[in-house]
Structure 1
Amino acid sequence: MNSLSRRFLSAVLLLAAAGAHAELRNLDDGEMSDVSGQDGVSLSVNFNVAPVAGDTRCTDGCGARLAIQPLNSTGFIVLDNIKGTFSFDGMSLDMVTINSGFNGDGALFNREAMKIGLTNASATNLQFTLGGANQGKVAASGLQQNNLLTYQATGAIKLTGNVYIFSNP
């Protein structure tokens, strides 16, 4: 592209950008009541968890580790050696008030929860180990972990439905 073409293209893009100017301003309550839309966030994510022998604690390489310490507990629930390809197309995040349903438990709960909606989620060649451990970090000395079950699926798994995350009362 010669110099004249570049200048012309730059001028056209500059004019187009100037025409695309939009005003950002605060809206009062009356104006907000006229606005309709949908709240929440929709995400599309695709990631692959693959072991690299030099970066893990396992000789042949192992997958990711997720350690969760429940409230008022000294131990950890562990998802260990997580491997596979995960795809979340159209995953939604939303805050909802649960005050009914759930076989009557919703009325007793009567609080907000984060709702993760899975509309088209999948995992391919999934593997993980569920266990319990005395500490969250593998690198710390004195780790004691009891593996309860190892799950492996060759092929694709489709996931749909909702996951609710509840806050501490």
Structure 2
Amino acid sequence: MKKIKQLVLASAVLATPFLAHADMKSLDDAALSGVTGQDGISIAGTFNAQIGKITYEDTDASGGSLVLDGIHLPSVTIADNAPLTVDVVTTSITPSGGGTAVATQQLQLGLPSITGNVKVDAVRVGETGASIGSLTVSNLNLAGSQVRIWGH
């Protein structure tokens, strides 16, 4: 009885690859034209950011600094119908010293219309000086920009 169980188990293990392959069928051009697929990912959403301050320091003899204090990017939006895209692309890159171009796979970030404003609460001359006003950058838009990332 033990030999029969072992034989049945061995037969099942050996038959498994054939069962997995049983439903695979080749596709002709007409059937293949109806197949669709996607690659990459899309990112959308609303993002809020804040930077405490940015300081520019003058290095000449009289010194001094300019401080942008309280920087806000409220509700920067990437719409669902125009998301940031992430794809893998191949680009031919010629080495910096010259030579034959090499096909290089890269991670490509496609920047869509990213809308929003940048607000600076105070602009100060010197670290503790009185504010000379505020600053707003309106209608920020990075549409069509691309960033490619790869190792070397």
- TM-score by structure 2 length? 0.43
Larger Rg over CA atoms: 2
- TM-score by structure 1 length? 0.40
